Amino acid sequence: MKTLLLTTLGTLVILGGFTLLRETSGRAQHSGPRSAQEAMAMETREHESYSGSGYDLTPLDRKRIEALAENLTDDERRIMLDQGTEPSFCGGLLSNKGTGAYTCRLCGLPLFKSEAKFESGTGWPSFYEPFDPAHIRSLRDQSGGMVRTEIQCARCRSHLGHVFDDGPKPTGLRYCLNSAALKFYAEGAELPPESRPLQIETAYFAGGCFWGIEDLFQKVPGVIEAVSGYQGGKLPDPDYRQVCSGSSGHAESVRLSYDPNQVTYRQLLEWFFKFHDPTQLNRQGPDVGTQYRSAIFAADKGQLAEAKAYIEGLQGSQRLGGRKIVTVVEQVGPFYEAEEYHQDYHAKHGGSCALPQ
Ligand SMILES: [Zn+2]
């Protein structure tokens, strides 16, 4: 389970393509859900990855790095792109005592906070911990006849410096930086977009067994996290047994955290209606009961209106052969995360729910 995206999410690899999403209301009407899934796997997109603190860590391609590097001075380029080191006691940020954030000079990713800066006496800016461990990449470095641990920016892979294990408490680490690899933003200063966390949005879908829906949505580009849970019932904090019995009134549901710059709510709706059969009342294939009902829990009025309009359009199309859509659309209520063993079930156990034909 990629629980709380902002605390434990590591690297999430997603394969898929956007092209199919955009043609679902047109030419692709003939394609059933199975072909959607196949097409999603056919087109490999650049690996997406996000940090626990909500930053986009998707590696930058060579072209983008070259474009950004045009803003570097010769010294900065030598240090960041050619693994150089600035002379000690010469860097501009060595004695900086301001409160704020230190970002990667090339790509803007926040790397360190001023709170973790300390005077190491080495002549290079030193920190005892990174802004987010996922923002720093560590590599074994045997250059110069020494064995050291090089540190790079996780997003643009630029050289930053090295990390040593002779730092102060609480980590005992000393991140030794080149000033030239950093840019400092004082607290309160406006950060550029590349230095800000993603504006993450949430959506909720119930379409039968949550193992399958969660697994399929995990593969959609732009979906950062999918969590299985229970929603739409009366009993507070239900467990699986209560939901299974049908007495709690909840549906097996999936909560999505997504990057609206990568995938829109409309596109999520398109996937949802490919991932399950919205014409089956209180069941999906062999799974029968109100807990397997088709439902959308709208996070706000915009989603509510968009979901209703989408269903209306889909009902009017030929795709479902005139069968009536029974999907319930309602305002979101409490979402209760399912037990740990339900999370990432397909990823852990293999297989995938059968998709409707
Ligand atoms: Zn960077």
Query: pLDDT tens across 251-267, in order?
Result: 999 999 999 988 999 99
In this prediction, residues 236-250 reach a mean pLDDT of: 88
- Domain boundary pick from 145, 180, 195: 195
> Which of 176, 195, 214 is the last residue before a domain boundary?
195
Scanning the chain, the segments in alpha helix (DSSP H) are 19-22, 33-42, 62-69, 74-81, 210-218, 240-245, 265-275, 301-316, 345-349
pLDDT band for position 144 (cuts 50, 70, 90) = confident
- pLDDT of residue 41 exceeding 60, the answer is no
Instruction: Report, as an integer, the average pLDDT of 91-102.
Output: 96
Measured CA to CA, the distance from residue 332 to residue 328 in angstroms comes to: 12
Cβ-based neighbour number of residue 281 at 10 Å: 13
**Which residue type, as a one-letter code, is found at position 140?**
R
Q: How far is the CA of 153 from the centre of ligand 1 (A)?
A: 5
- Give the CATH number, domain containing residue 283: 3.30.1060.10
> Which residues form the domain of 101?
36-195
- Separation of 130 CA from ligand 1 center, angstroms? 13
Instruction: Using the mean position of ligand 1's atoms as its centre, give its distance from the Cα of residue 55 in Å.
Output: 12
Last residue of a domain, one of 179, 195, 211: 195
Check pLDDT > 50 for residue 121: yes
Round to whole Å and give the CA distance between 326 and 251: 14
Among this protein's residues, is 176 annotated catalytic? yes
- Indicate if 182 and 40 belong to the same structural domain: yes
- Rounded Cα distance between 81 and 198, Å, is 26
Do residue 77 and residue 115 come from a single domain?
yes
Q: Tell me whether residue 340 is exposed, middle or buried, using C-beta atoms within 10 angstroms of its C-beta: 0 to 12, 13 to 18, 19 or more.
A: exposed
Average confidence (pLDDT) over 314-326? 92
Distance between Cα 9 and ligand 1 center (Å): 20
Q: Is residue 182 part of a domain?
A: yes
Mean pLDDT, to the nearest integer, of 107-113?
98
In order of 94, 127, 173, 199, the CA distances from 161 in angstroms are 13, 11, 13, 30
Tell whether 281 and 262 lie within a shared domain. Answer: yes
Same domain, residue pair 77 and 181: yes
Residue of 156, 209, 244, 353 marked catalytic: 209
Q: Given pLDDT bands bounded at 50, 70 and 90, which one contains residue 210? A: confident
Above 50 in pLDDT, residue 1? Answer: no
Options 107, 176, 244, 353, the catalytic residue:
176
Could you tell me if residue 9 is inside a domain?
Answer: no
Residue 20 pLDDT > 80, yes or no?
no
How confident is the model over 306-311, as a mean pLDDT?
Answer: 98
Please check the confidence at residue 47 and state whether its pLDDT lies above 90: no
Q: Are residues 191 and 42 in the same domain?
A: yes
Mean pLDDT of the chain, nearest integer? 85
Distance in Å, CA 308 to ligand 1 centroid: 42
Same structural domain, 208 and 95 = no
Any domain includes 357 = no
| Same domain, residue pair 148 and 93 | yes
Residues 6+ apart with CB under 8 A from 261: 198, 199, 222
Amino acid at position 166, single letter: D
CA distance 98 to 183: 12
Question: Which residue is associated with the tokens 């859509």?
Answer: 325
Put simply, whether the predicted model's pTM sits higher than 0.85 gets the answer: no
Taking the C-alpha atoms of residue 225 and residue 259, their distance in angstroms, rounded to an integer, is 10
For position 285, what pLDDT does the model report? 85
Pair (48, 91) in one structural domain: yes
Beta bridge partners of 336: 230
- 63 and 183 belong to one structural domain: yes
Domain of residue 118, CATH code? 2.170.150.20
Q: Is 251 within a domain?
A: yes
Number of domains in the chain: 2
Question: Are 184 and 309 members of one domain?
Answer: no
CA of 348 to the centre of ligand 1 (A): 33
Question: Residue 256: which of 289, 287, 298 has the closest Cα?
Answer: 298
Q: Is 23 a domain residue?
A: no
> What six digits make up the tokens of 349?
């156990």
Same domain, 180 and 205: no
Let me know whether 288 and 177 are in one domain. Answer: no
Question: What are the C-alpha distances in Å from 294 to residues 74, 326, 328?
Answer: 59, 7, 6
Q: What is the pLDDT of residues 336-356, one digit of tens each?
A: 998 888 888 777 777 555 444
Residue 108 belongs to some domain of the structure: yes
Ligand 1 being an ion, which residues bring their Cβ within 5 A of it?
Answer: 104, 106-107, 109, 153, 155-156
Angle between helices 33-42 and 265-275 (to 10 degrees): 120
Token digits of residue 303: 């989603």
pLDDT in the model for residue 351: 59
